Amino acid sequence: MSNKVLSILIPVFNEEFFFIQLINKVLEVELIDNIQKEFIIIDDASNDNTNRIISDFINNHPELNIKFFTHEVNMGKGAAIRTAIDKATGDYIIIQDADLEYDPHEYNRLLTPIHNNIADVVYGSRFKGDLPHTMYLPESGAAVPVNNPGKNPKIESALKGSTFGFIKS
């Protein structure tokens, strides 16, 4: 049984209609080896009810590990992700768009090679077609393409280690 934590970075901007659906979909997912979830939500100066909806959700679910931060002015998705990375404390990081462009049920497919020490980093692509075309980068530095049957991973990235400075080891 693992005591590892996945930091789920969720940049939001005017997502009042998607946020509850997103968070419920992520909560449905049971991660491999009992990996725990840490939610890092960055509201990039939304001008709708996103902030209130997120705050209400957090207040109604104190048992969840949710960290919520806001930008005073809109700085863009990249800045929201950088803020979230800085706040993350998990062993692994994944970026989840609030509009459900990426399917949370794919998390375990991305976590498995990292958690099993097969890869340092895993990138999923929503552009590569029906089969996953995941590139595992083993600690040896060699790049090994892997094509497993199944759905196409729709998650931008699941990252481990300090290879790109995204995780505090």
Arithmetic mean of pLDDT, 143-165: 35
**Which of 54-58, 113-117, 124-128 has the lowest average pLDDT?**
124-128
| pLDDT (tens digit per residue) in 56-103 | 999 999 999 999 999 999 999 999 999 999 999 999 999 999 888 788
Contacts for 28 with CB less than 8 Å, ≥ 6 apart: 104, 105
Angstrom distance (rounded) from CA 155 to CA 158: 8
Domains, the chain, in order of start with CATH, read 5-160 (3.90.550.10)
Which pLDDT does position 25 carry in this prediction?
96
Statement: residue 164 has pLDDT above 70: no
Arithmetic mean of pLDDT, 154-163: 33
How is residue 46 written in tokens? 């939304």
